[in-house]
Amino acid sequence: MPHPDLHFVHRGEVVSLKQVPPTRTLLQLLRDDLGLTATKEGCNEGDCGACTVVLGEKRGDHLHYSAVNSCIRLAHSIHGLALWTAQDLAAADGRPHPVQQALLQNHASQCGFCTPGFAMSLFGLYQNQVGQGHSVSREDAKEALSGNLCRCTGYRPILDAAQQMQVLPLAVVDEIEILSKLELLTHTDKGLEANFSYKTPGTLAELLHLRATCPQAQIVAGCTDVGLWVNKLHKDFAQVLDVTRVAELRQITSDETRLSIGAAVTLTDAFAALEGTRPALHAFAMRFAGAPVRNSGTLGGNVANGSPIGDSMPLLIALHARVVLASVRGTRELALESLYTGYRQNVMAADEVLTQILVPHPQASEFLRVYKVSKRLEDDISAVCLAVRLQLKDGFVAQISIGVGGVAATPVRARQTEAALTGQPWTPATVEAAMSMLRAEFQPISDMRASSDYRRLVLGNLLQRLWRESQGELEVTLDALTMEGLPA
């Protein structure tokens, strides 16, 4: 099966490559095929950030920059985009970029292995913030570097560098030239799409046709999970169906009742949309993996994947979200929790794809909390995730919805606990009884992240925390949501 040509912009020039296999990762392409070895291979699973590169994509009349993990990003996914690696920051005359200069002046590197990844995450931040005339706060830097791990330097000098880079002489990217080249690539003839090993439909109609004719093709979006299958399980796919170019799946729209998020919208943009009406979600959103993963991964991919520890699903279940499934036969809509039938199994037919996530707008009386319990504060997988949406009326529970992750084979809704709480007075006694019910409603497994007993204990404790916060007794902080910070 022939492989499509790959075209992207690098160092201001169009790069054209032939016969790139569909499961070739971007990191393999950079290091092995192009000799760009400044980009390092660390964990090879999107966890350490040593392989971080920056992609530029046209949005409107400007470039948007995204730091991503090249180790779990498929090479063909950068077709039509601009690419920067750690070897591309210095000026043509050798002058260091402000990012590099700031790292140097603040002694922000020791062994240096992780430094290229930190530099690229900072470069993405520099372009999106400093390049647009905005300042970089300490919090901005922490969020941008949440997917980069350093084992020897320590983060303080790196964060210092992040703030110092904005006061150094400005380095300007020739966006007009890059945009003109990207525009040319949009008109590149890709040949007979149906015959290619890597398919990139541009419309929903094309996607549904290809899904019907090639049901065996592996669907990918941000590839933050499939990339692990390739790297760690050594899986190979004869055909890959990339949904990230489908225009309809990249849209976020809103009407009077709900927000519609396309399945190919990145986690970064999806959480930003949810925060638009629910600002309190920001702290939780920043704990979903790290920034490079959120910049690649999609909300639809996280939902369709169906992992029992996928962090978005408990939240969406608590918000009464619904999903839209589509095929050449038509569309159907169902509650998100009804999508799953077992561990990483769902009701989607072989020719169906998930196209939208529909989230109702908040109501004035809504009290929403989401808790993620993990061993690390950032860039970690949940042991337990609990999301609760509560509405009180005259001191009684008028409505409550509870989404839970990490306690069953799928993300689940705590229906028994919801039923026990609905209509009851919102009092310590009611909550105490509900804590016992929530602990008994599920039978979680014991694994490397937590024991079954610990998970049940935590579920009850988090419900108690919810009650105390509803009474104004506690403030939500990230530190309070790690395993060490839970109430006893």
* pLDDT in the model for residue 194: 58
For residue 28, what are its two tokens? 């393999």
The Cα–Cα gap between 479 and 343 comes to: 31
Domain co-membership, 353 together with 379: no
For residue 346, what are its two tokens? 């769902």
Domain co-membership, 154 together with 205: no
Residue after which a domain boundary falls, among 146, 175, 204: 175
* pLDDT in the model for residue 379: 82
Domain co-membership, 228 together with 288: no
Domain co-membership, 12 together with 133: yes
With a CB cutoff of 8 Å and minimum separation 6, the contacts of 132 are none
Residue after which a domain boundary falls, among 206, 223, 242: 242
Domain of residue 234, residue span: 191-242
Domain co-membership, 268 together with 398: no
- Answer whether residue 153 is part of any domain: yes
The Cα–Cα gap between 38 and 90 comes to: 13
* Per-position pLDDT tens, the chain of length 488: 899 999 999 999 999 999 999 999 999 999 999 999 999 999 999 999 999 999 999 998 899 999 999 999 999 999 999 999 999 999 999 999 999 999 999 999 999 999 999 999 999 999 999 999 999 999 999 999 999 999 888 899 999 999 999 999 999 999 999 999 999 898 775 544 557 999 999 999 999 999 999 999 999 999 999 999 999 999 999 999 999 999 999 999 999 999 999 999 999 999 999 999 999 999 999 999 999 999 999 999 999 999 999 999 999 999 999 999 999 999 999 999 999 999 999 999 999 999 999 999 999 899 999 999 998 888 888 999 999 999 999 999 999 999 999 999 999 999 999 999 999 999 999 999 999 999 999 999 999 889 999 999 999 999 999 999 999 986 545 444 444 444 33
Domain co-membership, 278 together with 201: no
Domain co-membership, 269 together with 388: no
Domain co-membership, 67 together with 127: yes
Best CA proximity match to 128, nearest among 63, 191, 182:
63
Domain co-membership, 155 together with 268: no
Best CA proximity match to 152, nearest among 100, 124, 111, 193:
111
On the 0-12 / 13-18 / 19+ scale of CB atoms within 10 A, 127 is buried
Domain of 391, CATH number, reads 3.30.390.50
The Cα–Cα gap between 403 and 26 comes to: 36
Q: What angle do CA 417, 423, 426 make, to 5 degrees?
A: 80
* pLDDT in the model for residue 475: 58
Domain co-membership, 69 together with 132: yes
Domain of 267, CATH number, reads 3.30.465.10
Residue after which a domain boundary falls, among 319, 337, 360: 360
Alpha-carbon distances, residue 242 vs 60, 199, 223 (angstroms): 22, 6, 9
